[in-house]
Structure 1
Amino acid sequence: MDDISRIRNFSIIAHIDHGKSTLADRLILATGGLSEREMTHGQVLDNMEIEQERGITIKAQTVRLNWKAADGETYELNLMDTPGHVDFAYEVSRSLAACEGALLVVDAAQGVEAQTLANVYQSIEHDHEIVPVINKIDLPAADPEGVKQEIEEIIGLDASQAVLASAKSGIGIPDILQAIVDRIPPPKGDRTAPLKAMLVDSWYDPYLGVVILVRVIEGVLKKGQQVKFMAAGTTHLVDRVGCMRPKIEQLPELAAGEIGFITAQIKEVAETRVGDTITDAKRPTATALPGFKEVQPVVFCGLFPVDAADFEKLRESLYKLRLNDASFSFETESSAALGFGFRCGFLGLLHLEIIQERLTREYDLDLITTAPSVVYRMHLTRSKKDATSGGRSFETGLRRGSVPPQDEREGESGSGGQIIELHNPADMPDPNRIEMIEEPWISATIYTPDEYLGAILKLCQDRRGIQKGLTYVGSGSHQRAQLTYELPLNEVVFDFYDRLKSISRGYASFDYEQIGHREGDLVKMSILVNEELVDALSMITHRGTAEARGRGMCERLKELIPRHLFKIPIQAAIGGKVIARETISAMRKDVTAKCYGGDATRKRKLLEKQKKGKAKMREYGNVSIPQEAFIAALRMGEE
């Protein structure tokens, strides 16, 4: 658009299931982006089956709408539908940086939730003009006035001008469009300046290659232009420029203030990093845009095919998924118990769950997932051997055939030893070499109705939480407790979120951010079956909870492993010390059945012979642990 004053760039901020995608559908329909007939299903922008099923947004989407306002002018509205979940917080921050304003959508029955709060604060940091929208006002439990008061008390925004709407029924949609035009400021930018554009998102198209979503800050982006990605240091020739309406529409150029897409014959999404600055290769801009950072995986787990013959299929499937999602990483690993598989890194637990579900559904794979773990920092002592070998002796003590820790940095710990990053508990160095272990911590914000407060406080306390604050927000029926806790991330990655939801009957909301690493009294707990180490069940846990966790795992394995003809000990051990043990009793054949009376010594002789045979069998016998037992132990071990 030639007139920058008639452009409005805005995103929608909302908690999961507050009606964000339904509102986006209504806005598309109201502005003629799609006809009623073309909207074959709800949530047009949530085009993945898993997004529609769960009612969540996983990939950021954009759409350009034209709206004739009350003053008779036609405005160009660029809507960005961003993910609401904490795992995708960095993508959300880049999408917000590409806008000048935001619609804050709050459910009229549920009020302000934790993720709404996290994203709205990010939006305020970007100096956005925020338009509150109270959605679902036609619900029987709706309390718009109470929610307005809550927005003012909790967030500190003036909600007197909040738009009342129901996206499902179509109530208040013209009012929302008019509020966007009236209250959200137009973008600023000089189209004559050198090109400066932000890479907001990218996805893989089988026909076009990588499609890159961009927000042009200054200058003009044209077809045939040679552009440079400043963080990646690569140059590409732009072969297509356009926008989504939500159907693809090609354009001659994108000028300052506009949001659209480009393609440049790029084959892999990994080459296009979210937050990168795109500039003209011949006439570059002086400085890159602030806020760019490399996305680092937070949670790691092993993925193994149930059928070993599916290993190559799993490898191909992971490569295909990575074409569209560069934020997860994988590398091959082998396990004595589970065979060949991959160690994968994810942004968080929801991200892990989504990738796992997509592999199962879209690629028809049966998978075993090992217990999730986080990235630990090991401070190693500096030995004489280190000094002579350049500090690489930490590999002693790693299991054979494993991948050594990815990140090694020498001479950074206080005593002059190394700091290594550990992604897999099975790769833990010899405990004698470890001076100190640091684990990641998070700051969590939990909103809960008052009646569930006691149970949630106990849950956080059991997970080694440190309470930082407890305040009450809202009033009357909308009054809720706001808890602030600092928690170790490895206590949260198991089933904290599920437990929180079951304790609070789904009413508590949870949001977190990482606050760095802290020293912890952590130990590696190994599981031994028939005195053989089962590497897939190894885990790093706090010394205080190791015994209870080990006892629980042994009890479960006792139920899951079938009986053999000899006794099978199941042990949980820390180093050489066994902390829990269960024994699976042997199946006994009645060898005296053929003796009809006669001397008792004859029976004793047969029993002694059986006893010797069992001892020999136990010595040479291998325990076969069925796959189902592994799957059940790993899933149930998440306590």
Structure 2
Amino acid sequence: MTDIKLTGTIAAKQTGKNEQVLDKLKVERERGITVKAQTASMIYDRQASRYMLNLIDTPGHVDFAWEVSRSLAACQGALLLVDCSQGVQAQTISVFHNAKDRGLTIIPVLNKIDLPAADPDRVIAQMQATFGIDPEAVIPISAKTGRGVSELLRAIVERISPPVGPTSSPFRGFLFDSFYDRYRGVISLLNVKEGTLRVGDKISSTFTGKRYEIMELGIMHPEETSTSALYPGQVGYMACNMKEPTDAHVGDTLYRVGQPVDPIPGFKPAKPMVFAGVYPIDSGDFPKLEESIKRLTLTDRSVSVQRESSSALGQGCRLGFLGTLHMDVFRQRLEDEYNANVIITAPTVPYKVVYKDKEVIVSNPTDFPEVTDTTSKVKEIQEPTVSASIIVPEQYFGDMMDLCFSHRAEDLDHRYLDSTEGSARILMTCTIPLSEIVTDFFDQLKSRSSGFASFDYEEAGYRRSDLAKPVDALALIVHRSAQESVGRAWVKKLHRVIPRQLFEVPIQAAIGKKVIARETLSAMRADVTAGLYGGHYERKMKHLENQKASKRKMKRIGTVNLPQEAFFDILSQSK
């Protein structure tokens, strides 16, 4: 924020405006986190020279690592920002190695040096031990007061090499983001690698092969500022009457029609790790919900979308996310930006079902085979695992060990990041099933460490596991060691939300043909003897027996209609 002000990109003081300039989404301002990478171009004057600096502000949470990955693909350098009061975090290590693998110039920056709890010497020692960084290369700053920001801007100009793409070469651009405008259609953000792009040029997509005419060009300053052309190294936006959101493929290479170029390599698309069904509360709102999801995924291309239907919830979509926070943020954006009222089913992970002749990835519990059947052709079930990294103060090490082992962690190892007396921090690594961390793992991690632990993970392949599936949208896939506790918990939840009927309703959790938990919802009962005065007791017994017979008949032929509100309640309680 300070560097944007220092370069004159925005006014030094904004009266009556929220100064979270790059946090444009409502969910970002409410939660105080960054979930969407934002671009800003700045003009920096130094010693009679003028430079254009293109900044991409990226999220820090592991669930939005894809935003970081695609942003790094459009950059020549990266600022490794470390909080001076908290030290190196688990996600910091992940981002560092991602940038290093891409060959980017990395500038280590120590932020928040103005805080009373700041300990620059200790944190710089951590950065040296963890990343092998020269302490002299670290730039201490305070983004709040502006201290050190001028030195940081000079370091960016001096340490990061400018783009080398020649202006005279054929145009080649890298598309790394997009959003939708109701009047102009799809707006794409691109990094010009080589050549020049001008208004009126006709371009083509390497991925789709479709052609477009450039109607508008500009840079984000940080709001849209029109220009007549974009040159090598510049990051800007492009409007070209692109109507279909799916045509803006992140990672695509654009070129001028008649001058084909080699695609830009090195960018991997996102791979969803958590799946959930999304349904409208009112089934008639599905077309509107589907269009809203289509528009929203244009700004978040890491989400996968597939139609599905449920006998209980109607028509909906099965979406794939990078994590549970990603899923919850997407839900809130649907509600904030498109006024959608939705039900989201319990999150699941993609399992690999190995048959005798093939392998199938199953992300929907309703498609999970009944492996208890002796005639089943299933050879084995494999679950996804992740390599987890946890950084925690030494005093919470025992609690973190217990947390990891209770969630089936394996190959647990640890090492000290520093050895400062009274403030040592430990880096723990382990392999843990993905299904164990998509529930309440992160909440427990923060609770047991008083908020001081940080957590990051990356995909680690599949491994064989003993799994089982305990009405349609409420089907779950759980490890057999937890099947009884999960079954009892869900049966109790259903007992609370299912409306009482005129007959007794048994609620059961079952794996195959074996019932592992049961609750009985008692029947509503009218006082059929209230209007009887006097007479023999056999007269009352006759009415009571008739009532029992009627209830037995209703139990045989009656059905329980579970309202969508009940599904909403139980799925809300399960998050």
TM range (shorter): over 0.9
Residue correspondence of structure 1 range 170-185 to structure 2 within 5 A? 170-185=146-161
Equivalent in the alignment of 1:483: 428
Task: Report the more deviating stretch, 597-606 or 211-220.
Answer: 597-606
State the secondary structure of the residue aligned to 2:137.
Answer: coil
Task: Report the more deviating stretch, 87-96 or 539-548.
Answer: 87-96
Select 1:299's aligned residue among 274, 277, 285. 274
Per-residue deviation at 1:478? 4.0
Per-residue deviation at 1:143? 0.9
Distance 1:248 1:613, change over 3 A: closer
Rounded Cα–Cα distance in structure 2 between residues aligned with 1:630 and 1:513: 32
Per-residue deviation at 1:593? 5.2
Instruction: Please tell me whether residue 350 in structure 1 is matched to residue 325 in structure 2.
Output: yes
Structure 2, unpaired ranges of 5+: none
Rounded Cα–Cα distance in structure 2 between residues aligned with 1:187 and 1:95: 16
Letter in 2 for 1:447: I
| Residue pair 1:146, 1:478 contacting (<8 A) in 2 also | no
Per-residue deviation at 1:615? 0.9
Letter in 1 for 2:28: E
Rounded Cα–Cα distance in structure 2 between residues aligned with 1:587 and 1:249: 67
Equivalent in the alignment of 1:472: 416
State the secondary structure of the residue aligned to 2:145.
Answer: coil
Residue correspondence of structure 1 range 389-538 to structure 2 within 5 A? 415=356, 417-429=357-369, 431=371, 432-474=376-418, 475-525=420-470, 534-538=471-475
Residue correspondence of structure 1 range 68-467 to structure 2 within 5 A? 68-69=45-46, 71-285=47-261, 287-380=262-355, 415=356, 417-429=357-369, 431=371, 432-467=376-411
Letter in 1 for 2:414: L
Select 1:569's aligned residue among 506, 520, 523. 506
**Residues 10-64 of structure 1 deviation map (CA, whole Å, 9 limit, x = unaligned):** xxxxxxxxxxxxxxx2111101111135573212112111122222222222222
Per-residue deviation at 1:585? 2.5
Per-residue deviation at 1:605? 3.9
Distance 1:305 1:200, change over 3 A: closer
**Residues 248-297 of structure 1 deviation map (CA, whole Å, 9 limit, x = unaligned):** 33333333333223222212332122222223332222x32222334333
Rounded Cα–Cα distance in structure 1 between residues aligned with 2:191 and 2:462: 35
Distance 1:66 1:477, change over 3 A: farther
Letter in 2 for 1:573: A
| Residue pair 2:84, 2:123 contacting (<8 A) in 1 also | yes
State the secondary structure of the residue aligned to 1:264.
Answer: strand
Rounded Cα–Cα distance in structure 2 between residues aligned with 1:547 and 1:81: 45
| Residue pair 2:193, 2:233 contacting (<8 A) in 1 also | yes
Select 2:22's aligned residue among 45, 56, 76. 45
Per-residue deviation at 1:576? 1.4
Distance 1:232 1:517, change over 3 A: farther
Letter in 1 for 2:360: I
Rounded Cα–Cα distance in structure 2 between residues aligned with 1:204 and 1:339: 28
Rounded Cα–Cα distance in structure 2 between residues aligned with 1:629 and 1:292: 43
| Residue pair 1:192, 1:219 contacting (<8 A) in 2 also | yes
Rounded Cα–Cα distance in structure 1 between residues aligned with 2:525 and 2:178: 63
Rounded Cα–Cα distance in structure 2 between residues aligned with 1:91 and 1:365: 24
Equivalent in the alignment of 2:546: 609
Letter in 2 for 1:100: Q
Equivalent in the alignment of 2:524: 587
State the secondary structure of the residue aligned to 2:208.
Answer: coil
Instruction: Please tell me whether residue 635 in structure 1 is matched to residue 575 in structure 2.
Output: no
Rounded Cα–Cα distance in structure 1 between residues aligned with 2:222 and 2:274: 34
Select 2:43's aligned residue among 49, 66, 69. 66
Per-residue deviation at 1:597? 7.4
State the secondary structure of the residue aligned to 1:57.
Answer: coil
Equivalent in the alignment of 1:35: 11
- TM-score of the superposed pair, with normalisation by structure 1: 0.83
Alignment RMSD, CA only? 2.4
Distance 1:477 1:50, change over 3 A: farther
Per-residue deviation at 1:460? 2.0
| Residue pair 2:177, 2:299 contacting (<8 A) in 1 also | no
State the secondary structure of the residue aligned to 2:2.
Answer: helix
State the secondary structure of the residue aligned to 2:242.
Answer: coil
**Residues 363-382 of structure 1 deviation map (CA, whole Å, 9 limit, x = unaligned):** 333322110112222233xx
State the secondary structure of the residue aligned to 1:631.
Answer: helix
State the secondary structure of the residue aligned to 1:106.
Answer: strand
Per-residue deviation at 1:512? 1.1
Distance 1:193 1:309, change over 3 A: closer
Distance 1:633 1:365, change over 3 A: same
Task: Report the more deviating stretch, 145-154 or 457-466.
Answer: 457-466
Distance 1:290 1:478, change over 3 A: farther
Letter in 1 for 2:95: N
Distance 1:229 1:85, change over 3 A: farther
| Residue pair 1:100, 1:185 contacting (<8 A) in 2 also | yes
| Residue pair 1:111, 1:478 contacting (<8 A) in 2 also | no
| Residue pair 1:299, 1:373 contacting (<8 A) in 2 also | yes
State the secondary structure of the residue aligned to 2:135.
Answer: coil
Percent identity between matched residues is: 45
Per-residue deviation at 1:626? 4.5
Rounded Cα–Cα distance in structure 1 between residues aligned with 2:246 and 2:469: 34
Distance 1:601 1:129, change over 3 A: same
Equivalent in the alignment of 1:56: 33
Distance 1:517 1:600, change over 3 A: same
Per-residue deviation at 1:594? 5.9
| Residue pair 1:215, 1:257 contacting (<8 A) in 2 also | yes
| Residue pair 2:208, 2:247 contacting (<8 A) in 1 also | yes
Per-residue deviation at 1:553? 0.9
Per-residue deviation at 1:587? 3.5
Task: Report the more deviating stretch, 574-583 or 339-348.
Answer: 339-348
Per-residue deviation at 1:170? 2.1
Equivalent in the alignment of 1:18: none
Per-residue deviation at 1:342? 2.4
| Residue pair 1:269, 1:326 contacting (<8 A) in 2 also | no
Distance 1:439 1:224, change over 3 A: same
Task: Report the more deviating stretch, 217-226 or 483-492.
Answer: 217-226
State the secondary structure of the residue aligned to 2:11.
Answer: coil
The number of residue pairs the alignment matches comes to 569
| Residue pair 1:204, 1:323 contacting (<8 A) in 2 also | yes
Per-residue deviation at 1:569? 0.7
Rounded Cα–Cα distance in structure 2 between residues aligned with 1:304 and 1:97: 35
- TM-score of the superposed pair, with normalisation by structure 2: 0.92
Structure 1, unpaired ranges of 5+: 1-24, 381-414, 526-533
Rounded Cα–Cα distance in structure 2 between residues aligned with 1:614 and 1:607: 11
Rounded Cα–Cα distance in structure 2 between residues aligned with 1:368 and 1:127: 43
Rounded Cα–Cα distance in structure 2 between residues aligned with 1:471 and 1:265: 54
